[in-house]
Amino acid sequence: DLRAGVIAVQGNVSEHAAAIKRAAFENGFSVIVEQIRQAGVVPNCDLLLLPGGESTTISRLLKREGIDAEIKQHVAAGKPILATCAGLIVSSSDAKDDRVTTLDILDVTVDRNAFGRQKDSFEAPLSIDGIDDPETPFPAVFIRAPLIDAIGDDVSVLAWWDENPVAVRQGPVLATSFHPELTPDDRLHRLAFFAEEIITDSPVHPETDV
Ligand code: GLN
């Protein structure tokens, strides 16, 4: 089994747990989902999800529990993580807000709640690079979404909305300013974890496959 960790200090935890189970199943994997609230679990995970919610709270709790360093090590080891909305803010290199200590695993700067100032929440049909059935738009739900206002050279943009990047990838890190876990469409979760270069082979816990 693959071991998926959903960072569960705050935010949209159960939706991501359900989405990764569906996405794994469709790719022929079974997955054990761990909800992570303390240090010591991340090192055993093959893949991570960092949900949306409230970024100042998530950032504070990750630091307090010592989960922040473990997430950075996970990424440094090349293991995949999907960060959504507040998760993107926390992953960024700069959220321009003293209350958010960012993980700096994704070379972007963000403006918290920038989309939200225009419109609290909305749904948009996106075209996303790399997803299955690319002709079918992805229903992206934006809720007080962060605006990515600068991206580093190593970051590729997978989707745009209104001339702004809304899905980006840097190596094992895939981040969205919207909430792919809130719709039944799991193509984004599949892209984050099961595209060619990610998890296609046997899981890293062969000893549990008895
Ligand atoms: N605006 C929120 C924040 O700054 C993020 C919103 C979300 O995750 N839906 O934390």
pLDDT of residue 177: 97
One of 181, 197, 205, 207 is an active-site residue; which one?
181
Give the number of domains in the chain: 1
Q: Which residue range forms the structural domain that includes residue 141?
A: 2-208
189 is catalytic: no
Task: Tell me the CATH number at 178.
Answer: 3.40.50.880
CA 113 to chain centre: 17
Q: Is the CB of 143 under 6 A from ligand 1?
A: yes
Question: Do 163 and 157 meet the contact criterion of CB atoms below 8 Å apart?
Answer: no
- pLDDT at position 120, please? 83
Q: How far apart are CA 7 and CA 89, in angstroms?
A: 14
The question of whether 85 is a catalytic residue gets the answer yes
Distance 114 CA to ligand 1 centre (A): 10
> Which pTM does this prediction carry?
0.93
State the pLDDT at residue 118.
58
Q: What span, in angstroms and rounded, lies between the C-alpha atoms of 171 and 39?
A: 24
Pick the catalytic residue: 179, 189, 196, 207? Answer: 179
Which H or E run contains 91?
Answer: helix 86-91
Q: Which residues of the chain have pLDDT under 70?
A: 116-118, 197-210
- What is the distance between the alpha carbons of residues 83 and 76, in angstroms, rounded to a whole number? 15
Q: Is the ipTM of this complex over 0.85?
A: yes
175 CB near ligand 1 (under 6 Å): no
Torsion-angle region of 19 (φ positive above 0: left; ψ -120 to 50: alpha; else: beta): alpha
